[in-house]
Structure 1
Amino acid sequence: MNAFAQRMERAVAQAAAEGLGGLLITPGPDLVYFTGYQPTAITERLTLLVLAEGRDPHLLVPILERPDAEAADGSAAVTLLDWKDGDDPYPVAAGLLAPDGRYCISDSAWSMHLLGLQQALPQTRYTSMTSSLPMLRAVKSDDEVALLAAAGAAADAAYERILGVRFAGRTETEIGNDLADLLREYGHSQVDFTVVGSGPNGANPHHEMGDRVLQDGDMVVLDFGGLKDGYGSDTTRTVHIGPPTAVEQEVFDVVRAAQQAAFEAVRPGVACEDIDATARQLITEAGYGEQFIHRVGHGIGMTTHEPPYLVRGEKRPLVPGMCFSIEPGIYLSGRFGVRIEDIVTVTETGGRRLNNTDHGMQIVS
């Protein structure tokens, strides 16, 4: 049984354990995960993978896209069906479902497709993938961890190079473009974001980049990532143009200690929310609890944000193979921000960082 067939078999078992009749997978990362197939263009034409207990996997595609679906790595694990323009695809899809079944459907499914299925089978019920099977892709295989590690190493290489460029006198956008170019140079096919938050802009965690000109004395948050060979990178380091003030160094040291404490708390069986709580407690005790305004981490895989989420209320335990960010931050409005982020994978005995650049404050020019 190949890897795609194994993934589909596990997914059907997980769905059955949740009282679901199966899974309906539409174009996006879920479809790539299960079949290796990514349509060249996601359009209004219905493409649907049906995974249901007691029957073989079926992939319904527009006939003009069938050759691409047949060429996908996981095509041998599915039975392909097609439909032509001018035909109604929903009765064909309905034939693959139980008339009164309950199914989870990809979060990215178009509403028109869900409504079409409901019209064809009024007694069926649907729930989103995230609400019903949030851990579907959360536990990575060794091969997936290796791909995430390679993406992390590429982002690390980009960071090491960016430290050598001139910061002062240049705009955030220029620095961000340099980072994007470096990610591509080190093998990224897609750059998803480049946060360059200088001075007061660093107090906005999702500032990305703008026209502000960096100057001596600025704290600068650098958060960047994308996809390399289909898997994500995401890392944050905070640098300083010239020597920091005592307060800037203090805040930086608190964030660094919180990030390290959260990493050391990673081990199988620990609740996701406990990793958040570990970093949050340290930051709160230092007097900056109100300035830590986001969760401590998110899962990563074929997308840069996916379950598991390390946040208060998420009581699911960590499992070997889970991969996620640990990224505490402190944001002082109108002044500066600090964030340090690594991607971490859970091992049998603890955690392993997939980002390995220096956590210390780097002084740039």
Structure 2
Amino acid sequence: MLNQKRINLVLKRMADFGYDHFLITEPETIDYLIGYLNYPHERTYVMALSQEGDHRLFFNQLFYVDEDLGLPITWFSDADDSLALIASYLKDAKHVGVDKNMPARYLLPLMDKTSATYEVGSACVDLVRGVKDVHEQELMIKASEINDQAMAQMKDLLSTGQYSEKEMDPQLLAIYKSYGATDHSFEPIVGYGENGANPHHMNDGTMLKEGDSIIVDMGCVYEGYCSDMTRTFFYKKVSDKQKEVYNLVLKAQLAAQAAIKPGVRLADIDRIARDIITEGGYGPQFNHRLGHFIGRLCHEAGEVNATSDIIAEEGMIFSIEPGVYLPHEFGVRIEDLVLVTKDGVKILNHYPKDLQVLG
């Protein structure tokens, strides 16, 4: 069902950027605006917004729609020139924004067929999607609650030492589904020992051995919204160096979270965590941004990093996930999702962050 409030917010952003039209091809964004999700693969699939109110959907006849989506639909077949239809719609356009995912095979012919200027204008929707309404917040709180419950079961499975990294994935998916989630929100990362020193390690057949750190980065999808959380455990014993790094990362995370409130620059939040880790002697080993926005996709537009110009607003949800990665040794990452509230922050994850030795 068409969400006029969200569309009006996008139109306002379009006016700020000077766009008379905006073309959207990202399925999740179209779903966000009209409540209809479809993955078209190679076929043309466009939602067009106009400052004059002539909004329109361009859909292939292959797509199945049995409801009123609230906008006129221009239908076409595989044999039709769908881009010519869109170009005709844009015949009077002057300045067109397109989303960042629009394929070049669509955009380049449109540029040839029309006299308009085109610009990547995803900020028009990204800035709107970045602020979650109350219903979205409720769904994401529930998704994080499921993640907390699943992490407790993951800890129990890991404590047995019986499963390789890649064997934990199907175990986790079964746990998620038992709590009402439908899928992983991303391929989970389970990194044992030195594998944890790779922030985006691909799970393999590695088995746990005494003294290993265990990074578990995981998330689920609940009613279309994602969760994401990371915890680091240790198997059977923990060294002094591992304790030092773990406590440093936790200190950085807690300090960054404590500073979140409306009006604060996200770059300053990143700096707080990064300064603590740098002062602890591991600055170069914290080699990624502090956080990312999340919602219908696990990684949405918007970052908590040193160059971000985003100012925290009530309703924003993003991750806070400092880490330290020591090649050929171990890694530590601790991650929660946070919701910016009217006067501060709500942490969405509640699984304990005290140092835990398993087995």
Check whether TM > 0.5.
yes
Q: Is the 8 A contact 1:259 1:340 kept in 2?
A: yes
Match of 2:46 among 26, 48, 51: 48
- Partner in structure 1 of residue 338 of structure 2: 344
SS of the aligned residue for 2:175 comes to: helix
Q: TM-score, normalised by structure 1?
A: 0.93
2:211 paired with 1:206: no
SS of the aligned residue for 1:331 comes to: strand
Ranges of 4+ aligned residues in structure 1 off by more than 6 Å: none
- Listed as ranges, the matches of 1:111-126 within 5 Å are 111-121=104-114, 123-126=115-118
Q: Is the 8 A contact 2:98 2:122 kept in 1?
A: no
Aligned residues: 357
- Partner in structure 1 of residue 23 of structure 2: 24
- Structure 2 distance, partners of 1:346, 1:107, is 26
- Structure 1 distance, partners of 2:339, 2:152, is 22
1:132 deviates by: 6.3
SS of the aligned residue for 1:59 comes to: strand
Q: Is the 8 A contact 2:147 2:219 kept in 1?
A: yes
- Structure 2 distance, partners of 1:185, 1:144, is 22
Q: Is the 8 A contact 2:29 2:125 kept in 1?
A: no
Unaligned runs of 5+ in 1: none
SS of the aligned residue for 2:195 comes to: helix
Matched residues, percent identical?
A: 32
Instruction: Give, as a single letter, the amino acid of the residue that structure 2 aligns with 1:362.
Output: Q
- Structure 1 distance, partners of 2:133, 2:190, is 33
SS of the aligned residue for 1:249 comes to: helix
Match of 1:255 among 249, 254, 261: 249
Instruction: Give, as a single letter, the amino acid of the residue that structure 1 aligns with 2:165.
Output: E
1:116 deviates by: 2.9
- Partner in structure 1 of residue 119 of structure 2: 127
- Partner in structure 2 of residue 183 of structure 1: 176
Match of 1:158 among 131, 144, 150: 150
Instruction: Give, as a single letter, the amino acid of the residue that structure 1 aligns with 2:327.
Output: S
- Listed as ranges, the matches of 1:141-290 within 5 Å are 141-165=133-157, 166-191=159-184, 192-290=186-284
| 1:257-300 Cα deviation digits (max 9, x unpaired) | 11100100100010111111010011111111111000000000
| 1:85-115 Cα deviation digits (max 9, x unpaired) | 3221223212332545222222222221112
- Structure 2 distance, partners of 1:147, 1:293, is 31
Identify which range, 136-145 or 171-180, moves more after superposition.
171-180
1:80 deviates by: 1.8
1:120 deviates by: 2.2
- Structure 1 distance, partners of 2:177, 2:109, is 40
| 1:184-206 Cα deviation digits (max 9, x unpaired) | 32222221221011100111011
1:333 deviates by: 1.1
Q: In structure 2, do the counterparts of structure 1 residues 254 and 313 end up closer, same or farther at CA, with 3 Å as the change threshold? A: same
Q: In structure 2, do the counterparts of structure 1 residues 326 and 253 end up closer, same or farther at CA, with 3 Å as the change threshold? A: same
Q: TM-score, normalised by structure 2?
A: 0.94
- Structure 1 distance, partners of 2:162, 2:42, is 47
- Structure 2 distance, partners of 1:81, 1:136, is 26
Unaligned runs of 5+ in 2: none
Instruction: Give, as a single letter, the amino acid of the residue that structure 2 aligns with 1:4.
Output: N
Q: Is the 8 A contact 2:10 2:124 kept in 1?
A: no
- Structure 1 distance, partners of 2:299, 2:183, is 15
2:14 paired with 1:15: yes
CA RMSD of aligned residues (A): 1.8
